[in-house]
Amino acid sequence: MGDLLLVGCGKMGGAMLEGWLARGLSAADVVVAEPVDALRPRTSGVRAVASTSDVAKTPEIVVLAVKPQSMDGVLPDLKRFADEGAVFLSIAAGKTLKYFASHLGTTAKVVRSMPNTPAAVRQGISVATAAGGVSEAEKNRCHQLLEAVGQVVWVDDEALMDPVTALSGSGPAYVFLLVEAMAAAGAKLGLTPDMAMQLARATVAGSGELLKQSSEPASQLRVNVTSPGGTTAEALKVLMAADGIQPVFDKALAAASRRSKELAG
């Protein structure tokens, strides 16, 4: 895949690094720049430095995995790599191709993507969009990096990255909250908290695997659980009411998408 500089090895950058190494990317081809000592990889054979200023050689690909709020501080030192033709793969929420052009130069080769944390177990999904000057071969290299940790979808319309971020980027958090809420509700009905959490966790994980393996749509998998006149139907009357979960999700995703737009500047 060529040599790579990973800037930021936190939750998402670290998850992707694990996936790349598991997929066979040679540790010798990766440099990680990460200021937090505890997050710098130690055992994988990857070279790790505290700051990008410690990196002299221009990498083929620079993966930008710092918080959007840190990006302004990171890019000035990386412009020298853009000037030398490196391809930048950003995973930052909100940060637009226009933003990168203004910091790295209008000829900088930038791919903007949005992965998610199931990348840590190579079950992620990423959406990506490329700036005009990125060649098919360069897009392909970015595709390989994203595909190493899950599915990849390309879009031409960059505006879609805000709703994408709200849905799949942030989405794992909604699912984990669902587990917490189901467990809390089970505990209120008399289960011990441990048992309620065990049941909620296994139910969501098993449902996810069923969704993955089945060719049936989610709506049919739901119907398959819902015996006529039974228990599920009673719960779904509540969840699918006009004031059930749909308006809550509508509001939640709109808020996340709005925040993604705000992070652009």
Ligand X SMILES: NC(=O)C1=CN([C@@H]2O[C@H](COP(=O)(O)OP(=O)(O)OC[C@H]3O[C@@H](n4cnc5c(N)ncnc54)[C@H](OP(=O)(O)O)[C@@H]3O)[C@@H](O)[C@H]2O)C=CC1
Ligand Y SMILES: O=C(O)[C@@H]1CCC=N1
Name the binding residues for NADP(+). Answer: 65-68
Considering the rule CB under 6 A, would residue 36 count as an interface residue with ligand X?
yes
Among 78, 89, 116, 183, the residue binding ligand X under the rule CB under 6 A is: 116
Residues 211-250 that bind ligand X (CB under 6 A): none
| Residue 170 touches ligand Y, criterion: CB under 6 A | yes
Site residues for ligand X, 75-104, by CB under 6 A, read 91-93
Strands (E), 65-182: 87-90, 109-114, 124-130, 150-154
Q: How many residues bind ligand Y (CB under 6 A)?
A: 4
Q: Which CB sits closer to ligand Y, 30 or 66?
A: 66
**Residue whose C-beta lies closest to ligand Y:** 169
Nearest C-alpha neighbor of 138 from the set 176, 85, 97: 85
Pairing of strands 47-49, 61-64: unpaired
Which stretches does DSSP call E strand in the chain? Answer: 4-7, 30-33, 47-49, 61-64, 87-90, 109-114, 124-130, 150-154
**Binds ligand X by CB under 6 A, chosen from 4, 17, 41, 52:** 52
Helix (H, G, I), strand (E, B) or coil at 162: helix
Least Cβ distance, residue 64 to ligand Y (angstroms):
13
Which contacts qualify for 128-135: CB closer than 8 Å, 24 or more apart? 128/152, 128/153, 128/154, 128/155, 129/97, 129/154, 129/155, 129/156, 129/157, 129/158, 129/160, 129/161, 130/154, 131/97, 131/100, 131/101, 133/107, 133/108, 133/109, 134/87, 134/109, 134/110, 135/109
Q: Verify binding: residue 171, ligand X, rule CB under 6 A.
A: no
CB nearer to ligand Y: pick between 52 and 165:
165
The stretch near ligand X (CB under 6 A) out of 19-27, 69-77, 227-235, 247-255 is: 69-77
34 binds, among ligand X, ligand Y, none (CB under 5 to 8 A by kind): ligand X
Of 110 and 196, CB closest to ligand Y? 110
Nearer to ligand X, 131 or 196 (CB): 131
Stretch in the footprint of ligand X (CB under 6 A) among 7-15, 17-25, 205-213, 221-229? 7-15
Residues 79-118, interacting with ligand Y (CB under 6 A): 93
- Residue 173's Cβ-side half-sphere holds a number of Cα atoms within 13 Å equal to 9
| Interface contacts to ligand Y, rule CB under 6 A | 93, 165, 169-170
| Interface contacts to ligand X, rule CB under 6 A | 7-8, 10-13, 33-36, 39, 52, 65-68, 70, 73-74, 91-93, 114-117, 169
